[in-house]
Chains A and B, each alone.
Chain A
Amino acid sequence: MKLIVTFSRKAGKKPIIAQVVRDTGVLINVERAQIDSSEGEALIDIPDEACTVVKEGLSRLGASVRVLEDIISLDESRCIDCGACISICPQEVFSFDENWKLVVNGERCVLCGRCIEICPQRALSQKEEV
C-alpha cells in the first residue's frame, strides 16, 4: 500500500525513512519525493501488513502519515473510454476490460498527474483529501 509522508525539516535533517527501515526492518520503497529546505513530502510503498508499524514509526519521528487510497477519480459521465491515459501512465493504472471499457486500478497510482493533464475529456481528477 502507499503512504504519503510529510515532515518538517526545521528540526534538522533527520533521516526518518531510513530510521524507520532500520527500526522496523520493513523495506520501504520511495516512489516519489519532494524535499526542500523547510519541509518534505514522500510517497512510499510498503507491504500491506506492515502498515501499522511503519505508520507508528514515522509518526513517532514527527512525520504525519496518511494512506493513499484510490486517489484518482474518474468522472464516468465524461469518460468515453478512449484510452489516451493508458500508455502515458508510468504505473499502468489504466487498462481496458474485455468490452473495451476503461478500468482504473487506483492503488498503483503515484500521483504523477500526467493522466489528469492529458485526458481529452477532462474526466480524471485527484480526489479531494478527506
Chain B
Amino acid sequence: MKISVMEKTIDLIRERIRDGNARVVTAEEMPVIVEELGEEGALREIDVVTTGTFGAMCSSGAFLNFGHADPPIRMERVWLNDVEAYGGIAAVDAYIGATQKSATREAHYGGAHVMEDFVSGKTVELRALSTGTDCYPRRTITTELLLENLNEATMVNPRNGYQRYNAATNSTDRTLSTYMGMLLPNCGNITFSGSGLLNPITNDPEFRLIGGGVPAFLCGAPGMVIGQGTQHSPAGGFGTLMVTADMKKMSQDFLRAATMTGYGVTLYVGLGIPLPVLDLETVRSTAVRDEDITVDIIDYGIPSRDRPSLRKVSYADLKSGCVELNGEEIRTSPLSSYRRAREVAFTLKAWVEEGKLDLVLPTRKIDTTIKAHPMRETAQGPRVLDIMDRRVFSIGQDEEIRSAAQKLLKGETNHLPVIDSSGKLVGIVTTYDISKAVVNPGKANRVKDIMKKRVITTTMEEPVDIAVRKLEKHNISALPVVDRELRVIGMLTAMNLGKLFGGRWLK
C-alpha cells in the first residue's frame, strides 16, 4: 500500500540536496510532470522547481564603496563615466541607478552601461566633487577604477521580477517610442515582457515561498530576495520583488545595458528563484501554464496614466507570435528574452543540485493583499484652457484665399482654422500656405484648395505638457483648441507657452 505524502519539510528537501538525491526541475517542465504523475505523484517526486526571467528592469542599481583617497574626500557629487551617481550617502559611497543618463552621451550611455562595463572587467572613470571639510579636505578627485578596486559593489534593485506585465499597442496614427519598444501606428504591432510560466512570482502568487531572506539568482550571482519590491501590487496580480547580490560575482551574460530608442537607458536583469516543493499547493502553483496567465493589451496611444485595455490575452497567445485585435491578426514580439530566462532557470537548477544555494523559507513574509495606489497630487499642472488664446479667427472653406490673407493680417496670427458651413473644423491654413499659393498661382483660389486637411488639435482640459508634445512631434507651432463637436474655441500657439514662465505655474 502506498502512503500518500501530503507535505514535505524544508529540512527533508535540504537533506535530499545534501545527499545528492534531490530532483530539481524548471517551472517549464512542471505542467507536463503534473499531468503525468498527478499532483501527489509530483509532490513525492519533485523537490525543487526553479524559475527564471530575463528582461528590462529599469528599477535597478548598485551601492558602491570606493575606499578612501589620500587626502580624503567626502564626495558630494559623483560621476562614473560621466553618469551621475547619487552621492548623498557617506563620504565614499554612491548609488548608481540603471536609467541615469550620461551627461555627455545622453541616450547612448547610462547607469546600466556603467554597471555592465564594471561587470565585464572594463575600467570606469570616477569623478567627484566636494566642498571640503576639516576632516575631508579634498575637493576633487578623478581616478580610473576596475570592479575589483571597489570595496563593495552591491546590486540592490528596488523593483524587479514583475509577476506579469501588460502588453502594449498603439491606436494612434503615428509611431510611438516607449519603454515597451517601438509601437507602430494603427495597432500595427503588440509588444510584451516577462517569461510567463517561468516567471518567479507567477509560480508562487501567494508568496508562500518567496519572501525576505530567500536565495535568488541575480545577474549570474547568488543573491537574495530582500522583500517586496516598490509599487508591489499583488492584489491586482502585479507583485514585485526587491533583490540584492554581489556585483563582483555577476556575469555579462545575465546583465545587459540596453537603450530603448526614444525612451532611454535600462538594464536587462536575469532573475530566478528556486521554489522548494513542500505541499500540493506548491505543486499546483508551479504547474502554471502560459494559458493561465492573462494580461491586458494596453493602448499606449492614450497619454494618461489610466490607459484603456483593448482586450485580454494570455502569455500563450502573446508567445504564439500573433494576436487577434479588432478582427485583424497583429504580430507580437517580446522585449524580454525567453531563451535567457530558460538559461537562468537551468543555471539555478544546477546550483541547487550542487548545493551552491542554501534553500530557506522566508524570514520576512511578503504582503499579498496590498495594491499600489497612484500619486496624490496637491496641485494640478497647467491645462490648455489656462494659457490658450481665446480670440478665434477662423475662415470658411469656400472663401477666397485672399480673404484668408486678410484675416491672418487682421488677427496678427500665422494660423487660421478652416471651418465648414456647420462651424466644424475641417482644415488649417498658415501664412506659409498662402505665400506658397501666391508664389505658385495655379488653379487654387479657394481656401479648401490649399488648406491642410489633417489638423492636429487639442482640448481645453488637456495638460499643457501633452499639447507641447504634440507641437514637438509634428513640428508645428499652433494647435486649434476644439470642443466635442469639433468647433474651434481657442488656439494654443508657441507664443501662449510664454505665459508659463514667470507665472504661477513655475512657483
Residues of A whose CB lies within 8 Å of any CB of B are: 80-88, 95-96, 99-101, 114, 117-118, 120-122
What is the minimal beta-carbon distance from B359 to any residue of chain A, in angstroms? Answer: 28
A96 CB → nearest B CB, Å: 8
A81 to B191, CA, bound (A): 14
**B interface size (C-beta, 8 A):** 29
* CB-CB under 8 A for A83 and B334, given A88-B182, A99-B339: yes
Contact, CB under 8 Å: A84 / B191: yes
- B189 & A87 in contact (Cβ 8 Å cutoff): yes
List, in ascending order, chain A residues with CB within 8 A of B331's CB. 86-87
**In the bound complex, how far is the Cα of B13 from the Cα of A119, in angstroms?**
43
The answer to whether A87 touches B333 (Cβ under 8 A) is: yes
Chain A minimum-CB-distance residue to B334: A83
Which B residues from 223 to 246 make CB contacts under 8 A with A?
none
Excluding A86-B333, A100-B339, 11 further A-B contacts by CB distance (< 8 Å) are: A83-B334, A83-B337, A84-B334, A85-B333, A87-B331, A88-B184, A100-B337, A117-B182, A120-B259, A121-B256, A121-B258
Q: Which of A101, A117, A120, A122 contacts B335 (CB 8 A)?
A: A120
Q: Is residue B336 contacting chain A, with contact meaning CB distance below 8 A?
A: yes
The residues of A that contact B182 with a CB separation of less than 8 Å are 84, 88, 114, 117-118
Residue ID in chain A nearest B270 by CB atoms: A80
Closest chain-B Cβ to A85's Cβ sits at a distance in Å of 7
Residues of B within 8 A of A (CB): 54-56, 177, 181-182, 184, 189-191, 256, 258-261, 266, 268, 321, 331-340, 342
Task: Indicate if the CB atoms of A100 and B338 lie closer than 8 Å.
Answer: yes
B169 closest partner in A (C-beta): A87
Q: Quick check: A118 and B256 within 8 Å, CB to CB?
A: no
Residue of A with least CB distance to B181: A84
Chain A nearest CB, measured from B165 CB (Å): 14
Whether B260 contacts A120 by the Cβ 8 Å rule is yes
Given contacts A87-B189, A88-B184, A100-B342, are A82 and B334 in contact (CB under 8 A)? Answer: yes
Interface pair B56/A120, CB less than 8 Å apart: yes
Contacts of B258 in A (CB 8 A): 120-121
Which of A81, A87, A95, A117 has a CB less than 8 Å from the CB of B332? A87
Complexed CA–CA distance, A80 and B341 (Å): 10
Of the A-B pairs whose beta carbons lie under 8 Å apart in the complex, a sample of 20, sorted by A's number, is A80-B54, A80-B339, A81-B340, A82-B55, A83-B333, A83-B338, A84-B191, A84-B333, A84-B334, A86-B333, A87-B184, A87-B190, A95-B321, A96-B321, A100-B339, A118-B181, A118-B182, A120-B181, A120-B260, A120-B268
